[in-house]
Amino acid sequence: MTHDEAIDRARLVNVESYHVDLDLSGAPAGMPFGSVTTVRFSCAEPGAATFVELKPVEVQEIRLNGVPVDPAALDGNRLPLAGLRADNELVVRCTMAYSTTGEGVHRFTDPEDGEVYLYAQACLDDAQRIFACFDQPDLKATMTLAVSAPPDWTVRANAPGEQVRPGRWEFAGTLPLSTYLMTVVAGPYHTRQAEHDGIPLALLCRRSLAPYLDKDAEEIFAVTGALLDHFHGLFGIRYPFGDYVQAFVPEFNAGAMENPGCVTFREEFLHRSAATDSELELRTMVIAHEMTHMWFGDLVTMRWWDDLWLNESFAEYMGWRATAEVTRFTGAWTSFAIVRKSGGYAADQRPSTHPIAPERVADTEQALLNFDGISYAKGASALRQLVAWLGDEAFFAGLRAYFAAHAYGNATLADLLAALSAASGRDLSAWADVWLRRPQVNTLRPEAVTGPDGRYGEVAVRQAAPPGYPTLRPHRIGVGVYAEEGGRVTLAHRAEVDLDPEADGGRTPVPQLAGVPAGRLLLLNDGDLTFAKVGLLPQDRAVLAEVLPALADPLARALTWAAAMEMTRDAEMPAAEFLALAGAGLPAEDDVAVFAQMLRFARETVADRHLPPAARPAALAALAGACQNALDAGRPDAGGRRLTALRGLVSCAGPELISRLRGWPAGRDVPAGLEIDADLRWAMLGRLVVLDAAGEPEIAAECERDRSARGAEHAARCRAALPGAAAKARAWELIVGDGPLRLVAAVAGGFWHPEQAADTAPYVARYFAEMPAVAARRTPNVVPALAHAAYPRYAVTAETLAAAEAMIAVPDLDPGLRRAAIDATDDLRRALAARTLT
């Protein structure tokens, strides 16, 4: 649907209610499901025509105001409705298909016990795969749902409901909702229930995952209650949607979905193997993120997808903020800085960059592509910067006024800015123009003159912007001077400064630091209040390998690591220099999120792509040595640090570690305090397969040991990693086939390895030749993930670049494939540039 069409239809139509009756009783046998929709709506121009969306297998009956409509009138996904009255009733009776791609009603069979599980995912415009509807966000309506299902199933939805007779469930009418927020979860789900402050709570998962949910249920309920209390106080409106159900569902594409009353999460958040504090923190943040949506997105919904930031940027900001403020993960902003923002910086510098709040999103295809690091991480960072400028009191006063004015309706950027401006007494139009309407990232570089007495004579910050995007922005930042004392590097002086975008040459002095003793590190954006890349003084960079391991504050370390990472991505820091920094800094790194992210970057980007192939084995050996040093260090195992180091050691293992990779699963010489659980066993087997030290017999044996859905994905990834022409041919046929997304993505994820460049060389050209046809057969939700996973990321050559650019230039290329290829090809260009450095 285009934005123009949505505007026209919203002028014409006001939707009052949906009654949806779904027959899921044939799901265990794989039969399509029945859907009967009754829509009541008014028309501002009686006699006019419009349409509803619908993607059925078969239509049995359509009646508009009691008059039959020929099912053959359905054109693609659009059912024309002519001769409308002032008040109308549409009844559509049809049969719908289940999906295996996380769209519409997803059907999953548990390989462990054969049980069938369903859940509905209606976002972005997949409600029409479930029921006939006006599928756009600003046509909100009440929804009443009835479901027929097998008698032993549990069924949950957006509103409270009950089983009125065996196999028949009826749910209360909802408050006004957008169609993309509709859901139903049905199957023999294991359920845990509780209550907090009068709000019924529930947790759901597959029966085979019950032990893992039961293990964590108390913590999840406690976090949920604390967050509800926190948001009630901040937003001034209690959670309005009745029950608060959180369902962990199989083969979910995203992290979670904010369906009011029934939030769906990917079930990987229930950890069957040992989890680090970083992984548990992420789950907590996602719970907070989705709960924020109950207000930002569900209570008040964007009018169209150009204001996606009103949903995702606010949920991301409040998710991390609330996690840091009301849960045990008080260092959450450190994880945001090193994990989430790195993705935001990468997205904002690519050719596919876009504003946080684009002035126009032409259609739903374009909207789908904007669910990225810009709408999430950059948007959240811009809000953090706004709060630093306005202060909490004005910010939350504006939000409360916004909710009060637009509750159960739709809103725009202008509506929010008006509320914040009124509360703060500041005109935010100029701020919004440079922060929300213009893309790309600024770079902040320190300048300092040190006198003979060892004190700064002058400190300044120079702001720059890329030539094609010359916008300089107002930034409120901290500037920290870190000095060494007793072997630790700690904050000695700090100044906050407002960078003036109108200053000559973008240069802003920091007079508060004149006369301050020069430290070992001058850190810009100390405290991480803004979204900007930062540089380092040349003298600080020269001693970074000494300073970073001694830097006491985790957030300061994260920002310093991030600066080095960005310089490496920009081909300003040679790969060898970053690897030396990793070798020095990782063994001393106590923050699990920082350790994991920097090791991943060092391994997957620097060693695997930025270095010439001949240098890679030595680099992996050095990284493995850093992980071994972290394992051997006599430091407390805070939050799973040793587990993270072991995972890193496995990922970097070369031939010299084959005997250990074989011995650990058998219980030989396992590092103290660690258990080789199912996911570690698969990781070790996967690395052995890549090293040609294990094969199909070992994979089959591990499958017998682990018959879970997770095990099936691990096995698919391992089989794709088998060397040899025959194995690669089998894997490629799966990648370009039509199988379930999760398994195909797992195969694609295991296909490419630098060690197997000769085996995969023929498939570099085949990717660019065959992926357009694959994309044409697949749905918009599937294409970007598959195209990204299957991209020949280790073929860092000019020939790969030429083939990629030729495919991207094809005029009618699928938009999802084009976006994925543009982003992956940008990384390829950076890798080629990095290889030119000495």
Give yes or no for residue 723 having a pLDDT over 90: yes
Active site residue 290: yes
Give yes or no for residue 97 having a pLDDT over 90: yes
Contact between 586 and 599 under an 8 Å Cβ cutoff? The reply is yes
The string of DSSP codes covering 83-113 is S--SEEEEEEEEEE--BSSSSEEEEEE-TTT
- Per-residue pLDDT tens over the stretch 403-457: 999 999 999 999 999 999 999 999 999 999 999 999 999 999 999 999 999 999 9
pLDDT score recorded for residue 142: 98
Mean pLDDT of 759-767: 98
- Per-residue pLDDT tens over the stretch 74-94: 999 999 999 999 999 999 999
Confidence band, pLDDT 50/70/90 cuts, at residue 633: confident
Catalytic, out of 103, 251, 290, 755: 290
C-alpha span between 553 and 78 (Å, rounded): 57
pLDDT score recorded for residue 20: 98
Mean pLDDT of 817-824: 97
C-alpha span between 537 and 517 (Å, rounded): 15
Mean pLDDT of 262-283: 97
Q: How many angstroms separate the first and last alpha carbons of the chain?
A: 50
pTM, two decimal places:
0.97
pLDDT score recorded for residue 781: 87
Q: 500, 385, 382: which is closest to 439 by C-alpha? A: 382
Mean pLDDT of 44-58: 98
Confidence band, pLDDT 50/70/90 cuts, at residue 638: confident
In whole angstroms, how far apart are CA 736 and each of 476, 709, 790, 799?
Answer: 49, 22, 9, 22
Looking up tokens 């197997």 gives 756
Identity of the residue numbered 813: L
- Per-residue pLDDT tens over the stretch 291-321: 999 999 999 999 999 999 999 999 999 999 9
Helix (H) or strand (E) holding 195: strand 190-196
Mean pLDDT of 253-269: 97
Give yes or no for residue 525 having a pLDDT over 90: yes
pLDDT score recorded for residue 635: 67
Give yes or no for residue 564 having a pLDDT over 90: yes
In whole angstroms, how far apart are CA 304 and each of 180, 310, 828?
Answer: 12, 10, 34
pLDDT score recorded for residue 487: 93
Confidence band, pLDDT 50/70/90 cuts, at residue 673: confident
| Proportion of the chain above pLDDT 70, given as a percent | 100
Helix axes 725-735, 757-777, angle to 10 degrees: 20
Contact between 95 and 776 under an 8 Å Cβ cutoff? The reply is no
Confidence band, pLDDT 50/70/90 cuts, at residue 668: very high
Mean pLDDT of 283-296: 98
pLDDT score recorded for residue 838: 64
- Per-residue pLDDT tens over the stretch 119-147: 999 999 999 999 999 999 999 999 999 99
- Per-residue pLDDT tens over the stretch 470-514: 999 999 999 999 999 999 999 999 999 999 999 999 999 999 999
C-alpha span between 226 and 232 (Å, rounded): 10
pLDDT score recorded for residue 426: 95
In whole angstroms, how far apart are CA 465 and each of 126, 387, 566?
Answer: 39, 23, 15
